[in-house]
Chain A
């Protein structure tokens, strides 16, 4: 089955700096890679996703890059703000699939 590894497990940055979280996956059939943000006491919420026919996707301060050859994808947050502090999860699945495999999560702390 699919295995998703996520690094780092914790990340602390100063407000205004950039943050990068990386994930690798094992199943070459995976073609959908979402990123979820989980705030304290809430369920995860999608912030950006990418499908394997694109290499990069950007939404304001958030971007995701995908390297299919290396089976690697990353989340980039620029100009970080204190409200970006949360737990971030990457995930992988494939077309019409039911199974969804998540990384172990990254706790991001943005210091004012």
Chain B
């Protein structure tokens, strides 16, 4: 089944404790992206990747890192999480760019205490 998977689905952590949210797609898509969803603010893009080893900032990149060492994986790294990063996070992929349909993962709900 073609899909985007994220792990973990739920995470409660404390301020300053480094964490990684994994994202993987099995559709051989070139483009991958991370979004955060907050009430009343819609989906805001954190980082995106047009292909392996190519990443760029979205609208809200502060406090986040990403890497794209393999085509199928695009992990989101929070080096020192803070409470304002409490949010619902979505990973998405598309065949080539944001000019194409994006397929979203199921989401990761992160709480930073």
Contact = CB atoms under 8 A, between A and B. Distances in A.
Interface string A81-105: 0000000010101111111111111
A98 B50 contact: yes
Interface residues of A, number: 29
A102 B35 CA distance: 10
Nearest to B38: A104
A104 B97 contact: no
A61 to B, nearest CB: 19
B47 to A, nearest CB: 9
B43 A89 contact: yes
A97 B45 contact: no
Q: Taking each of A32, A34, A42, A99, which has the highest tally of chain B beta carbons within 10 Å of its own beta carbon?
A: A99
Nearest to A45: B104
A38 B73 CA distance: 24
A101 to B, nearest CB: 7
Interface residues of B, number: 29
B74 interface: no
A100 B33 contact: yes
B110 to A, nearest CB: 15
B33 A46 contact: no
Contact of A97 (B92, B97, B104): B97
A43 B104 contact: yes
Contacts of B22: none
Contacts of A34: 101-102
B99 A102 contact: no
Contacts of B50: 98
Given A98-B33, A98-B56, A44 B99 contact: no
Nearest to B45: A100
Contacts of A15: none
B45 A99 contact: yes
A5 B39 CA distance: 15
